[in-house]
């Protein structure tokens, strides 16, 4: 990123320079042409940042900080002074042009940009990231001159293959998370609440240089762990129960994402056994990647088979993994097709291919109502012929904390 007037955070990844942005834009334009389109309107905040360098985040779908516009002749960021004032320098490295809509509507600003360029008839839009309302406004305003075409994952598939700067930054995000967790292990005591444990881990990550946690840290002591996305509560940690911690941090926008399950004191036979199944499933997932399996469904199946054979198939109710990068969850999918429909199969064919340069998670889990959960998650960089675990590997046996 271009040197800012002053640093925006300690987050220091490897800089994305003009050449990186030029390459990203060229690949995007190629995919737009391949899809038979004249341009693309970009609603995803991740795709917007990837192409333009604009770091603003969208509070939710109803509050967008802007749309990027890519056609043959235009590379623009449709935004407002409200969002851009004071951070204009973020756009320098990518060279994107700000198209301000302070005193005008999105439809009018877009219409003017397209009229100035001419020749844009079919304009794609990101169907998963644009609300029906936003689509309808565009269609009502410009539908007579522009055909708006819903698109799938065009830029997501460019993002799926990380470049060198991205990989260096993600190594740093993984490393900070690893070190923060090592510090946390020294902190945990019987009686600390889930919320206290989460707060300590978050603080360690920030103090080690992360911008922020990459998502709300999950800490589940015992029963809460049966809910894979448990929100930390005031329940105090007790000895002997599974203590599931799912966390990660953001460095220059890029996420790490890992999960460890530990225990205070000694694990009983059940916890040891469940942990062992999950760990063997994780090994199977990693082995599949290392053996060159490149379909996400194959890798998922390799791990799932271990859990199913152990009798816990129904208790592993999520995907084995997902890509990770600017978004916590992104392409490729490391997943089965849950319910087979033509659309779901087509989606998996599109985003379930694990190409070299992908960073994916490998995170089998078993969730038992009333007891808790065991999930083990590592981050893996997929190479031409290998697969490198970026995080510390989850150990073969559950970590026992003196507590």
Q: How far is the CB of 180 from a second copy (least distance, A)?
A: 15
Q: How far is the CB of 235 from a second copy (least distance, A)?
A: 5
Query: Looking at beta carbons only, is 137 or 350 nearer to a second copy?
Result: 137
Query: Looking at beta carbons only, is 104 or 298 nearer to a second copy?
Result: 104
DSSP assignment of 145-158 = T-EEEEE-SHHHHH
DSSP assignment of 133-184 = HHHHHHHHHHTTT-EEEEE-SHHHHHHTS--HHHHHHHHHHHHHHHHHHHHH
Q: Which residue has the tokens 């990203």?
A: 24
Q: How far is the CB of 250 from a second copy (least distance, A)?
A: 11
Q: Which of 383, 236, 367, 382 is nearest to 314 (CA)?
A: 367
Query: Looking at beta carbons only, is 166 or 196 nearer to a second copy?
Result: 196
127 membership: H or E segment, kind and range: none
Alpha-carbon dihedral angle through residues 128, 130, 131, 132, given to the nearest 10 degrees: -90
HSE, CB side, 13 Å, CA atoms: give it for residue 177: 32
Distance in angstroms between the alpha carbons of the first and the last residue of the chain: 43
Q: How far is the CB of 201 from a second copy (least distance, A)?
A: 14
Query: Looking at beta carbons only, is 76 or 225 nearer to a second copy?
Result: 225
Q: How far is the CB of 364 from a second copy (least distance, A)?
A: 14
Burial (CB count <10 Å: 0-12, 13-18, 19+), residue 285 = buried
The contact set with a second copy (CB under 8 A) reads 5-10, 55-56, 59-63, 80-87, 102-105, 108, 125, 127-133, 135-137, 150, 195, 199, 203, 206, 212, 215-216, 223-235, 317-318, 328-329, 338-339, 341, 343-344, 367, 369
What are 234's strand-pairing partners?
A: none
Would you give the DSSP letter of residue 224? G
Q: How far is the CB of 337 from a second copy (least distance, A)?
A: 11
């Amino acid at each position: 990123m271009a040197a800012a007037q002053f640093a925006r955070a300690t987050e220091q990844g490897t800089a994305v320079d003009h050449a990186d942005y030029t390459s990203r834009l060229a690949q995007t334009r190629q995919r737009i042409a391949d899809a038979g389109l004249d341009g693309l309107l970009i609603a995803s905040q991740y795709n917007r940042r990837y192409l333009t360098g604009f770091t603003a985040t969208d509070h939710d779908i109803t509050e967008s900080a802007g749309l990027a516009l890519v056609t043959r002749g235009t590379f623009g960021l449709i935004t407002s002074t409200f969002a851009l004032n004071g951070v204009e320098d973020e756009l320098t490295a990518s060279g994107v042009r700000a198209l301000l809509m302070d005193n005008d509507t999105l439809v009018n600003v877009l219409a003017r940009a397209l009229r100035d360029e001419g020749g844009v008839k079919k304009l794609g839009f990101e169907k998963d990231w644009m609300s029906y309302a936003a689509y309808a406004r565009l269609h009502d305003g410009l539908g007579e001159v522009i055909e708006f075409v819903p698109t799938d994952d065009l830029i997501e598939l460019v993002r799926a293959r990380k470049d060198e700067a991205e990989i260096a930054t993600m190594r740093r995000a993984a490393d900070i998370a690893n070190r923060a967790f090592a510090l946390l292990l020294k902190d945990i005591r019987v009686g600390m609440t889930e919320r206290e444990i989460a707060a300590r881990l978050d603080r360690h990550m920030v103090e080690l240089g992360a911008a922020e946690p990459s998502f709300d840290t999950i800490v589940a002591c015992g029963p809460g762990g049966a809910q894979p996305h448990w929100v930390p509560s005031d329940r105090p940690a007790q000895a002997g129960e599974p203590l599931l911690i799912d966390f990660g941090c953001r460095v220059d926008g890029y996420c790490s994402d890992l999960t460890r399950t530990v225990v205070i004191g000694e694990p009983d036979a059940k916890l040891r056994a469940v942990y062992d199944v999950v760990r063997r499933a994780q090994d199977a997932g990693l082995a599949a990647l290392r053996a060159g399996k490149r379909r996400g469904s194959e890798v998922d199946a390799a791990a799932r088979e271990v859990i199913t054979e152990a009798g816990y198939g129904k208790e592993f109710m999520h995907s084995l993994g997902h890509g990770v990068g600017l978004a916590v969850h992104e392409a490729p999918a490391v997943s089965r097709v849950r319910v087979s429909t033509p659309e779901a199969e087509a989606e998996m064919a599109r985003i379930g291919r694990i190409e070299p340069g992908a960073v994916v998670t490998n995170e089998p889990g078993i969730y038992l109502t009333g007891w808790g959960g065991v999930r083990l998650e590592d981050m893996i960089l997929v190479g031409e012929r290998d697969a490198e675990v970026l995080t510390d590997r989850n150990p073969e046996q559950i970590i026992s904390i003196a507590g």
